[in-house]
């Protein structure tokens, strides 16, 4: 059976750089606290009005498509991973299809947060293996800045996240041992509310105010009072220590699963590109797996945590820096809200 390979890769980050010290203009925090806990020095934030999750995804996609040696009209399927879509619906996939003037191809949106890109890659891999598609565009893009609260009450969340996008084009290859060797997907919803944004969503009805005579009182309705909005009910919630504890178990587990499936060991990995959740998590995982510094790529220092975009941005930067060469064994791994976690092993 044929399998898939990354034929082109690209990324885009907005030009607006916000250092930790910049954030301390808006909230009580410090460069020292942020760097010590997360490793982050700065992040990019999209233009408030000029850039969206889709427009950033398009910029990354243009590079990936050009590097794959095809045009936008050759793409035969789109998979778009994000937790910060332009609209509640429809998803970003169709917006990208429209703006890039692609054919009337299928567009699938993936809602798996930090694991979104690896999940998307796995779905694309299955379509290529069955021969259904030949040029699949896989995008991970996030504009976190639009929904974050930059007041002190949300500082444990808002100092972590940044905006950006990454994309790959997946194509079939007949070359034995090249391309995606295997992908591994997992979830455990037991702790779904530990890292979540509850609004807008059907569950939000429980927050609805008493409003006599309003039909939505019985039927539902998407509105919140100013008091509820101000209370932070519509903001992302994260129990940071609980996320940390679970991530440092599941990252190594899913990486080992991918290695075992291919009769390989950690020492065989040329480059591990983990989701850039937190530098401390990456360092812990590196230590547990006994990997050298040159076997792990991190760029969270520059971009913060860009959720579904973090793996493709890091993979692209590593490749552009010459850290990935033909024949290298590359491992992608992610963990995030849900919880969901995933890995992919590739021979470049």
Query: Residue 37 or 111: which CB sits closer to ligand ACO?
Result: 37
* φ and ψ of 343, to 5 deg: -145, 160
The three-point CA angle 175-178-181 to 5° equals 125
Region binding ligand ACO by CB under 6 A among candidate stretches 236-244, 250-258, 261-269, 312-320:
236-244
Query: Residue 82 or 278: which CB sits closer to ligand ACO?
Result: 278
**159, 259, 314, 330: which one binds ligand ACO (CB under 6 A):** 159
- Examine residue 237 and tell whether it contacts ligand ACO (CB under 6 A): no
**16, 35, 156, 178: which one binds ligand ACO (CB under 6 A):** 156
172 contact partners, CB below 8 Å, separation of at least 6: 2, 3, 4, 5, 128, 131, 134
- Examine residue 228 and tell whether it contacts ligand ACO (CB under 6 A): no
Q: Is 186 a catalytic residue?
A: no
189 contact partners, CB below 8 Å, separation of at least 6: 338, 339
- Binders of ligand ACO in range 57-96 (CB under 6 A): none
Residue 238 beta carbon to ligand ACO: minimum distance, rounded to whole angstroms: 6
Strand partners, 341: 186, 335
Q: Is 275 a catalytic residue?
A: yes
Distances (CA, A) of 176 to 2, 4, 144, 164, 266: 9, 11, 40, 34, 22
Measured distance CA(118)–CA(6) in Å, rounded: 13
Interface with ligand ACO (CB under 6 A), residue total 22
Tokens for 324, please give them.
């990935």
Tokens for 141, please give them.
């893009």
- CB nearest ligand ACO: which residue? 240
Residue 206 beta carbon to ligand ACO: minimum distance, rounded to whole angstroms: 25
- Examine residue 235 and tell whether it contacts ligand ACO (CB under 6 A): no
Region binding ligand ACO by CB under 6 A among candidate stretches 28-36, 77-85, 163-171, 173-181:
28-36
- Examine residue 118 and tell whether it contacts ligand ACO (CB under 6 A): no
Measured distance CA(147)–CA(157) in Å, rounded: 11
Tokens for 331, please give them.
């491992």
Measured distance CA(330)–CA(150) in Å, rounded: 36
Measured distance CA(243)–CA(239) in Å, rounded: 6
Query: Residue 120 or 277: which CB sits closer to ligand ACO?
Result: 277
DSSP string, 77-133: EEEEE-SS-SSSSS-HHHHHHHHTT--S-EEEEE--GGGHHHHHHHHHHHHHHTTS-
- Examine residue 319 and tell whether it contacts ligand ACO (CB under 6 A): no
Q: Is 305 a catalytic residue?
A: yes
**305, 306, 340, 343: which one binds ligand ACO (CB under 6 A):** 305
Catalytic choice (3, 112, 114, 316) = 114
Q: x/- site string to ligand ACO, residues 244 to 283, per CB under 6 A?
A: x--x-----------------------------xx--x--
Region binding ligand ACO by CB under 6 A among candidate stretches 7-15, 73-81, 156-164, 183-191:
156-164
> First and final CA of the chain: distance in angstroms?
18
Residues acting as catalytic residues: 114, 275, 305
User: Which residues bind to ligand ACO, rule: CB under 6 A?
Assistant: 29, 33-34, 37-38, 114, 155-156, 159-160, 195, 240-241, 243-244, 247, 277-278, 281, 305, 335-336
């Amino acid at each position: 059976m044929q399998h898939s390979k990354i034929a082109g890769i690209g990324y885009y980050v907005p030009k607006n750089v916000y250092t930790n010290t910049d954030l301390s203009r808006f909230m009580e925090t410090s460069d020292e606290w942020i760097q010590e806990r997360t490793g982050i020095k700065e992040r990019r934030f999209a233009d408030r009005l000029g850039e969206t999750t889709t427009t950033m995804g398009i910029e990354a996609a243009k590079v990936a498509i050009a590097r794959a040696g095809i045009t936008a009209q050759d793409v035969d399927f789109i998979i778009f991973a994000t937790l910060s879509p332009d609209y509640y619906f429809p998803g970003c996939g169709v917006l990208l299809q429209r703006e890039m003037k692609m054919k009337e191809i299928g567009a699938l949106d993936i809602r798996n947060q930090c694991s979104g890109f690896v999940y998307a890659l796995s779905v694309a891999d299955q379509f290529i293996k069955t021969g259904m598609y030949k040029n699949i565009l896989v995008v991970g893009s996030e504009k976190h800045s639009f929904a974050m609260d930059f007041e002190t009450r949300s500082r444990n969340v808002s100092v972590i996240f940044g905006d950006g996008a990454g994309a790959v084009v997946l194509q079939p290859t007949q070359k034995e041992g090249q391309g995606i060797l295997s992908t591994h997907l997992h979830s455990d919803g037991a702790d779904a509310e530990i890292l979540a944004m509850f609004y807008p969503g059907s569950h939000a009805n429980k927050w609805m105010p008493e409003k006599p005579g309003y039909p939505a009182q019985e039927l539902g309705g998407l509105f919140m009072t100013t008091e509820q909005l101000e209370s932070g009910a519509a903001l992302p919630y994260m129990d940071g220590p609980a996320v940390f504890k679970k991530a440092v178990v599941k990252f190594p587990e899913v990486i080992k699963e991918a290695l075992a499936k291919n009769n390989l060991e950690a020492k065989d990995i040329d480059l591990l590109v983990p989701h850039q959740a937190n530098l401390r998590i990456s360092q812990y995982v590196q230590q547990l797996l006994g990997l050298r510094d040159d076997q792990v790529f991190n760029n969270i220092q520059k971009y913060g945590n860009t959720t579904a975009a973090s793996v493709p941005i890091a993979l692209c930067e590593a490749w552009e820096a010459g850290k990935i060469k033909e024949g290298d064994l590359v491992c992608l791994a992610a963990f995030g809200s849900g919880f969901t976690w995933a890995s992919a092993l590739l021979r470049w």
